[in-house]
Structure 1
Amino acid sequence: MPLPKWPPAISPSQLEELRLIATTYALSHGLLYLPPGQQQPPAPSSAIHAPFALFPSPFPRTLFTHAQDLQQIYNVLYARVASDTEFLDRVLSAETAVGRVDEFVGTLWKIWKEVRSEGLVQPLQLGIFRSDYLLHEDGDGMDIKQVEFNTISASFGGLSQAVDGLHRYLMASTGYYSCSPILKESNVPPNNTLAEIVSGLAQAHKAYLQSKLNSASNQGHPAQILFVTQPNERNVFDQRPLEYELLNTYNIRVIRRTFEELATQAHIQDSTRVLLVDTSTSPDPVEVSVVYFRAGYTPVDYPTSTHFDTRKTLERSAAIKCPSLALQLAGSKKVQAVLSRPGVVETFILSDRWAAISQDNPHSFTGEDVDGLRRSWMEMYGLEEEGAIEKARKDAQELVLKPQREGGGNNVYKGHIPEFLDGLSEKEREAWIAMALIKVPKGVENTLVRSGSEPVRANVVCELGIFGWALFGYESDPSTDGKKLKLEEGSGGYLLRTKGEDSDEGGVATGFSVLDSVILVD
């Protein structure tokens, strides 16, 4: 069915009252950013509310459920991809087109290879994922299509839950002035993103404590989780709720450090490779159980070779990495394109090989599950493939070009593609993929509220992100004298980002989108 005309009509006075109630709620409940362009002191002295949509946005109930159902398959898929060293080397190594041309990817792969050559001491990896979708409408009806799969710094777990609370409050306190029968509690899906992400971190922490690698607990000093963050992080109010939930629910403490700080404060014990971080509050360094990267996904995070050295130090350690370099590389756009080729994803989902080595693993999938994955993908291909450059030029108005980058603002769209290709060398082109543009439904509007500006009513596009996690790794199996893949996973919670339909990019932190929540429609 088509989406309803949106948003419902309200009077100017109702709009102003709704904005007042909403912004006050946002400031009172941590739906916040640090202000842009201001040098904050060590203790922040001011904050603004994060940008948000005044109404929840309509989303088909069946497609929302379909996106949730896909997440378990994606959790298992990317755990297996990250566990397949031969596959990742074949696609991304420094000897491949991507590794040679994309210096950032090539450098990460080289660090991973060096750590592997030395010998991995931590068999477990943790992934906190977010699979992003847009609604796609064509002659066959409406469906969801995947934009990308995020394996590092999948953000807005805290703030997505906060904006869900905002819309629930507006519904309960004002009823949205009875402007639409759709705006009722039964059409609001639960959003437990915070609890779900934290449960993954807690499971990894528990696994570390139970391993022989742990030493701190034996000395009466509990290990802690390390959050690796960017300097002057504006999105701190999205990250801190994870820290609070870890302490309140699981009694797990968190320390936050930038790469610059870790360059001098992080150390590895020679014999055990236990990761220790110096603090100013204790004479003894803190042992780290899990390294959770909220930085490190972009070349900007590595301005010097020292930053890459620090990443290598963390990767060499006995702490569980979220993500490991293998899992970060698995989330590259090139891997996404290769998985879409005929027969490739089937080797990870349906192959007897994975069934044979899975340990205590109830994850058994069918051809129908693979069909569901493939139905969520648009056509993708690498620009190094035969005839790809000519095809990209001819179909430019229907394409987007993507590099191996996260964080928003990196893609090239439509009419800009031919000129962009002209400026790239033949080798540079090999680091990009082309993806068919998703045809989003037209005619949906919402009122967008940004701090310090008047509300703006605009035609919008909504991008849905579904969160999940996986804790996995090979363990020795004495019964077969081989290795088994251990895997625990979970999913729950979502992010909705809404942007003006004329904006190609989708990042909230980069200023393109606002935070939103879903109202389900049939």
Structure 2
Amino acid sequence: MSKQTINQSNGTVNSPKNYVLEAVPDEKTLAELSCYAIDYCHTIGNVALWNERKDSHDIAVTPPIALLPSPFPAELFEKAKAVQQTLSELYFRISLDHDFLIDAYRDVVKADKWIAKQIELMEKVKADGIRQPICVQLQRADYMSHWDEQEHKMELKNVEVNIGQVGGPGCATLMSKLHKKMIQKVENLRYGPLTSTVNGKLPENYPRKGMAETMFQAWKLFGDKDAVVVFMNQPELFPVCHFEQLQFIQFELEKLARKEGFLINVIRMPIKETAQRLCLNEKDYTMYADGKRVALIHMAYGYLPEHYPSDKEWQIRFDMERSKTILSPNIRLSLSGTKKIQQVLAKPGVIERFLPGQTEKIALLRSTFTGLWGLEEDNDNIRAIIKDAIEYPKKYVMKAQLGAGKGNYFDEQMADMLSRMSVKERGAYILQQKIWPVVAKNYMKRPFEKPTLENIVSEVGIYGSFIGNEQNGGKVLWNRVEGYLVRSKCHNVNQGGVSEGGGPGIPCNPFSPSFPCSPIFPGIPSIPGLPISPCSLCSPLGPLFPGIPLPPEFAFNPEKIMN
């Protein structure tokens, strides 16, 4: 294998192993594959409302897609699956520890009004009484490959953990189906498999069904066959996200229920309508939606401060929390899934507090952590980290306590903020070591544009579904790994998401989308020294880097690049 090179702009490792160049040898093949992919997307329903006509349900377009699956190390992918059930239980246990959450946010609330408001809500709910012990946690843990210079190997590193408002289960299922079809089409055109992926693996992937089964089990636990499910969203904001969520929270859920002889009514409800359409009976704390008893509310919306423009939205959220309705997620789980909790968990002994005696599982989970620092203290260690971040900003990311990729600060903007903020202001953020992923090539297809060959990096999200009973110290009722989502984006774009609408369509701009994708495991010799544990299920077309050991002479030092 030829020697890797370093991308001087951001320090990522650039692998020359790019099978898409073999799969797409010329413009004619590219045009044929592009047309084939779009037609097949429409055939299987991998579409959404058009951003330019969000008000019309008659116009559907394909979301931004990667034309072929992106390569990713198979061992790292298996490791991400292996830790998922541990992660789901860990965050459930955290949500039960009121004192831990209060202490974790003690300094954050001084500067972060959004977190302060949520803590206030949690305190009010505790004082009023928790009447529904059943909780639902839909989770997606996101990872990237990372080149460790000291260990001289590729590692799996956790980017973040998302709870409740997890995007992708619908489109991930369909993207895996699309990419399986695309590989078959490439083989048809060549009259045989690609030489670079002859032993490749395309893992199965059915998160749509898995998530729906979890919602169905929660609905049954409520114990009223006539009770409804409320899907809380704001469809005109992110039509792609709204439509793909409908696939598991409504269409698949209705299908599963009918198979068992039940008829479930799923009510779609924008958050701005909840104050008028949701009503709490103060006598027995039953929640009603349009006059119908509510068993379960799934909140695909409500994770950002702008989602609560007035006291009306906060009051209805309070009513939901103190009702007998099962919530996905409740406020305690929401507060468990922030960047601050992610940072606190990286401290020695914290995970052991919640998972005593699970030494091997904890060690495997810890190995996925990056460097994480809280900024609320003013000691020599934190001052040194901040000084380094200001001098070498490309080595770090600063994150606020927001979801959906919001509140992340990079490069010179981060350095400027760190140099100006007071200790109190810093307390609202954490600092995270930047991950150095492998770069691969893939063709990106945006709506109404020709596909373009781009250098991309991929992020693998593993889905977990969890149902717990909070009584008597907490009992695990349901804990499964449900599949995955692979998102690829231009290598020098810091952030961006499919649900945000795909950006203006200029390759590699800061608003460019991540592309729902599949991983492909080319079956090449594994990376040595990687601990692997057995796992559950999953399913893309193969993630990002073919699992090739890097040559021993290759040395990568981010600090050299940052100067």
1:384 equivalent in structure 2: 376
2:387 equivalent in structure 1: 393
Q: CA offsets per residue over residues 86-109 of structure 1, 9 Å max, x none? A: 1111112xxx11122111111111
- Compute the RMSD of aligned alpha carbons: 1.9
1:152 equivalent in structure 2: 164
Q: CA offsets per residue over residues 120-166 of structure 1, 9 Å max, x none? A: 11011110000000000123211110000001211110001111111
Q: Which runs of 5 or more structure 2 residues have no equivalent in the other structure?
A: 5-14, 259-263, 503-512, 525-563
TM-score w.r.t. structure 1 length?
A: 0.88
Q: Where do residues 124-273 of structure 1 align in structure 2 (5 Å cutoff)?
A: 124-139=134-149, 140=151, 141-175=153-187, 177-178=189-190, 180-183=194-197, 187-209=201-223, 214=224, 217=225, 222-232=226-236, 233-235=238-240, 236-242=242-248, 243-251=250-258, 252-273=264-285
- CA pair 307-22 structure 1, distance change in 2 beyond 3 A: same
2:133 equivalent in structure 1: 123
Q: CA offsets per residue over residues 155-194 of structure 1, 9 Å max, x none? A: 1100011111111112233427347235469610010111
Q: CA offsets per residue over residues 304-324 of structure 1, 9 Å max, x none? A: 222111211211211111100
- Residue 204 of structure 1 aligns with an amino acid whose one-letter code is A
- Secondary structure of 1:405's counterpart equals coil
Aligned pairs, how many?
Answer: 480
2:76 to 38, 63, 76: 63
- Secondary structure of 1:189's counterpart equals coil
- CA pair 67-197 structure 1, distance change in 2 beyond 3 A: same
CA contact (8 A) 1:158 1:239 kept: yes
Q: Where do residues 282-293 of structure 1 align in structure 2 (5 Å cutoff)?
A: 285-293=291-299
1:480 equivalent in structure 2: none
Distance in 2 (CA, whole Å) between partners of 1:18 and 1:295 is 36
**Is the counterpart of residue 80 in structure 1 residue 93 in structure 2?**
yes
- Secondary structure of 1:435's counterpart equals strand
Distance in 2 (CA, whole Å) between partners of 1:369 and 1:181 is 38
2:423 equivalent in structure 1: 426
CA contact (8 A) 1:83 1:473 kept: no
CA contact (8 A) 2:164 2:329 kept: yes
**Is the counterpart of residue 103 in structure 1 residue 113 in structure 2?**
yes
Q: CA offsets per residue over residues 476-508 of structure 1, 9 Å max, x none? A: 5xxxxxx55343211121000000001011422
Distance in 1 (CA, whole Å) between partners of 2:197 and 2:209 is 25
2:339 to 333, 343, 357: 333
- Residue 473 of structure 1 aligns with an amino acid whose one-letter code is N
Q: Where do residues 481-496 of structure 1 align in structure 2 (5 Å cutoff)?
A: 483=473, 485-496=475-486
1:39 is displaced (CA, Å) by 4.7
Distance in 1 (CA, whole Å) between partners of 2:519 and 2:300 is 26
- Secondary structure of 2:312's counterpart equals helix
TM-score w.r.t. structure 2 length?
A: 0.82
CA contact (8 A) 2:68 2:183 kept: no
- Residue 469 of structure 1 aligns with an amino acid whose one-letter code is S
Distance in 2 (CA, whole Å) between partners of 1:99 and 1:8 is 51
Distance in 1 (CA, whole Å) between partners of 2:124 and 2:419 is 36
Q: Which runs of 5 or more structure 1 residues have no equivalent in the other structure?
A: 279-284, 352-364, 477-482
What fraction of aligned residue pairs are identical, expressed as a percent? 28
Distance in 1 (CA, whole Å) between partners of 2:477 and 2:338 is 22
Distance in 1 (CA, whole Å) between partners of 2:497 and 2:183 is 27
CA contact (8 A) 2:163 2:334 kept: yes
- Secondary structure of 1:268's counterpart equals strand
Q: CA offsets per residue over residues 17-63 of structure 1, 9 Å max, x none? A: 0000001111222212322243514xx12121111111101111111
1:426 is displaced (CA, Å) by 3.2
Distance in 2 (CA, whole Å) between partners of 1:231 and 1:322 is 18
Distance in 2 (CA, whole Å) between partners of 1:329 and 1:80 is 12
- CA pair 473-60 structure 1, distance change in 2 beyond 3 A: same
- Residue 149 of structure 1 aligns with an amino acid whose one-letter code is V
Question: Quick check: 507-516 or 20-29, which moved more?
Answer: 507-516
Distance in 1 (CA, whole Å) between partners of 2:198 and 2:276 is 53
Distance in 2 (CA, whole Å) between partners of 1:425 and 1:234 is 39
CA contact (8 A) 1:259 1:310 kept: no
1:516 equivalent in structure 2: 517
- CA pair 229-393 structure 1, distance change in 2 beyond 3 A: same
CA contact (8 A) 1:497 1:506 kept: no
Distance in 1 (CA, whole Å) between partners of 2:496 and 2:196 is 26
- Residue 33 of structure 2 aligns with an amino acid whose one-letter code is L
- Residue 516 of structure 1 aligns with an amino acid whose one-letter code is C
Q: CA offsets per residue over residues 429-484 of structure 1, 9 Å max, x none? A: 11000000011113x111000001111111100000000011112335xxxxxx55
**Is the counterpart of residue 474 in structure 1 residue 470 in structure 2?**
yes
1:324 equivalent in structure 2: 330
1:464 equivalent in structure 2: 460
Distance in 2 (CA, whole Å) between partners of 1:344 and 1:417 is 28
1:342 to 340, 348, 352: 348
Q: Where do residues 12-31 of structure 1 align in structure 2 (5 Å cutoff)?
A: 12-31=27-46
Distance in 2 (CA, whole Å) between partners of 1:270 and 1:249 is 33
CA contact (8 A) 1:133 1:145 kept: yes
CA contact (8 A) 1:134 1:147 kept: yes
**Is the counterpart of residue 436 in structure 1 residue 430 in structure 2?**
no
- CA pair 183-241 structure 1, distance change in 2 beyond 3 A: farther
Distance in 2 (CA, whole Å) between partners of 1:379 and 1:407 is 21
2:11 equivalent in structure 1: none
- CA pair 244-90 structure 1, distance change in 2 beyond 3 A: same
Distance in 1 (CA, whole Å) between partners of 2:216 and 2:54 is 33
- Residue 82 of structure 1 aligns with an amino acid whose one-letter code is S
**Is the counterpart of residue 52 in structure 1 residue 65 in structure 2?**
yes
- Secondary structure of 1:504's counterpart equals coil
Q: CA offsets per residue over residues 296-341 of structure 1, 9 Å max, x none? A: 1111211222211121121121111110000000001000000000
1:271 is displaced (CA, Å) by 2.1
- Residue 438 of structure 1 aligns with an amino acid whose one-letter code is I
- CA pair 231-25 structure 1, distance change in 2 beyond 3 A: closer
